[in-house]
Amino acid sequence: MRGATLLALLATVAALSPAWAGDPLRTTLEVGPRHNIDAVLYTPDRPGPFPGILLLPTSRGFNVADDGYCRKLALENYICLAADYERAHGDTGAMRGFSFGKDAEAIQMDLVAVRAEMQSLPKIRPDSIGTIGFSNGGYFAIWLAATHQTRASVAYYPALGQVSNAPRLGRLEDNFSSASAPLLILHGTTDHIPVAAVQNVEKAMTAAGAPHEVKIYQYAGHEFERDFSQPGNQAAAADAWPRTLAFFKRYLQ
C-alpha cells in the first residue's frame, strides 16, 4: 500500500486487524505535509487503543535495524511509525549536514506535521504519542521534547556535535523549560560525539527544570544497539532496551 496517506489507512488497518494477538501489521505509506516522507507503520495485532511512537532514523536513512526496532515496539503494544524524514530532503550520508542547515526548518515542520497525522491513526491514543530517535534522529527527538511537541522522547546517541554548525536551529539548550516533555538520553563514552555535548544539554535541562534522565554507557560507541564491534556496545544495548520501555511506560501508558 505504498504511497497511501494516513487517512486512507483508517478503514484498511481496522479491517485487516483481527481481534487476537499475533505478529504486528506492517504497512508502508507516505506522510508529511507533502506526502513525500516514506514511512513504515507497525500496528499491534490486538484491540487498542495504544500509545504511539514516532521513530526517527540515523542519517543513514531508514534501514533494517529501524524496521526491527519499530516491530519490537509494536510487540510491546505501541503503534510505531518510522519516518525516513531526512531522505525526503536528500540529506542522508554525506549530505546529512543539511539537516542542520538549509533544511532544518522544513524538517522541523515535517516532524510536527507527521506527529499530528499520527493522531488520526486507528487504534491510537491521540494524546499519548512519544518520539524515539537515533543519532540525527536523536537530535530532533530532543528538539521535539524541548519544545513540548511530543509526550516524551528517547534519544539514542544524539548528534549534538552538529549543533554548533546549525545556525538555523539556534541553541538547542535555549528551548528547554519546565514545560518541556520528559526526555531520556542514552550515550556512550567512546562515541565520536563527545560526552561533554550531552553534559551541556543536561546542564541546560537541569537549569530550566525540564524533566530528564541521562544514561552514559562506559566503552559504548555510536549505534551501540545495532553494532556490537566496540566492547561496551552489547552491554549498553542490553540495558537501553528495558530502560526505554520503562521510560515510555511511565509517560505514555
DSSP bridge pairs for 28:
40
Element (H, E) at 113: helix 104-118
79 in Cβ contact with 121 (< 8 Å): yes
The answer to whether position 1 is within a domain reads: no
11 has a pLDDT exceeding 60 = no
The answer to whether position 237 is within a domain reads: yes
The answer to whether position 53 is within a domain reads: yes
The answer to whether position 74 is within a domain reads: yes
By CB atoms closer than 10 A (0-12, 13-18, 19+), residue 44 is: buried
* pLDDT single digits (tens) 171-199: 788 999 999 999 999 999 999 999 999 99
- The span from the CA of 241 to the CA of 237, in Å, is 6
Selection from 124, 116, 69 nearest residue 252 by Cα:
124
Query: What confidence score (pLDDT) does residue 88 get?
Result: 87
Query: What confidence score (pLDDT) does residue 92 get?
Result: 73
Task: Provide the 3-class DSSP secondary structure of residue 102.
Answer: coil
Which CATH number characterizes residue 129's domain?
3.40.50.1820
* pLDDT single digits (tens) 68-118: 999 999 999 999 999 999 988 887 777 777 777 778 888 999 999 999 999
- The span from the CA of 45 to the CA of 21, in Å, is 5
| Residue 41 CA to its chain's centroid (Å) | 13
What nine digits make up the cell of 212?
A: 530528564
| pLDDT band per the 50, 70, 90 thresholds, residue 15 | very low
| pTM of this structure | 0.89
Q: How many domains does the chain have?
A: 1
Segment 51-70 shows an average pLDDT of 96
The answer to whether position 106 is within a domain reads: yes
The answer to whether position 89 is within a domain reads: yes
Query: What confidence score (pLDDT) does residue 19 get?
Result: 37
Name, in order, each residue with C-beta under 8 angstroms of 119's C-beta and a sequence gap of 6 or more: 126, 129
Segment 243-253 shows an average pLDDT of 97
Average pLDDT, the chain: 89
- Domain of 239 in residue numbering reads as 6-252
| pLDDT band per the 50, 70, 90 thresholds, residue 20 | very low
Q: What single-letter DSSP state applies at residue 186?
A: E
Task: Provide the 3-class DSSP secondary structure of residue 124.
Answer: strand
The answer to whether position 122 is within a domain reads: yes
The answer to whether position 118 is within a domain reads: yes
